[in-house]
Amino acid sequence: MTAMIVPFAEDGSVNYAIVEQLTDYLVTHGTDTVVVCGTTGESPTLTWEEEYELFRVVKQTAADRAKVMAGTGSNSTREAIAATQKAAKLGLDGSLQVVPYYNKPPQEGLAAHFREIAAAVPELPLMLYNIPGRTGQNLLPETVAQLAEVNNIVAIKEASGNLDQVSTVRRLTPPTFKIYSGDDSLTLPMLAVGASGVVSVASHLVGDRLQSMIRSFEAGRVADALTEHLALLPLFKALFLTTNPIPLKAALELSGWSVGKPRSPLVPCPDAIRQDLKQVMIELSLIPA
């Protein structure tokens, strides 16, 4: 899965023409599912109207070539329900539901929040999104196990960075409940403890290679998967030298994409980080020397 960026025009508006081009590129370069309006898509600075139009445009462009998942989570349960219901009406294939941020509900509140959303859209598969570094609250494995009993809560994007936690989630949930890495650099280690794939940032640049790495692991060619992981590791790290998606947008610009600057309060990529990115991309033959 690719957590897609949102391209902006010079005036700061969403550049839907580039959205279409980027969607087409992703689905022809290794992406099985496009995740729209997540962290990488700068969702905190998008209006709901912009998000719904993004859902529509990406779904129309992807057509039957890839699935489309909508980031419709919120720290307001009512708001998350309304947004998810609208995404379902647009015919999207699933919804990414982030752990409520800032208000830091206890585990009982988190469980109730996700259960209410699931009950409001029983026809839509939901993926939980645990990223405590951004939300201030960790969705514990025991809570995930309770939520995995809900029919349409089918997966989790686990971005805690804690492999022990991932292992515990795998131990407590049925095999049909899917775990996805929320960090490119942890995709291979997480596959080893029962994950199914990754919600990726780097796939904007190396989607085919990530697809190949995962396929190699699934086929038992672990040494091949490790070789690819180690080759791509400098890129994984470079893309997080500062807050995502600042480096990714710079990398795409270096690749020839006109994706614009991030929206404030994010800022353009510093020159030093841009130079580090450029060197890594040259070494990986992503751009010419």
Question: Token pair of 61, please?
Answer: 């462009």
Single out the catalytic residue among 16, 59, 67, 129. 129
Look up 157 and say whether it is catalytic: yes
CA–CA separation, 242 vs 280, rounded Å? 15
Single out the catalytic residue among 59, 67, 157, 249. 157
Question: Token pair of 203, please?
Answer: 């796939």
* 182, 131 contact by CB (below 8 A): yes
State the Cα angle at 189 between 208 and 3, rounded to 5°. Answer: 45
Catalytic residues: 129, 157
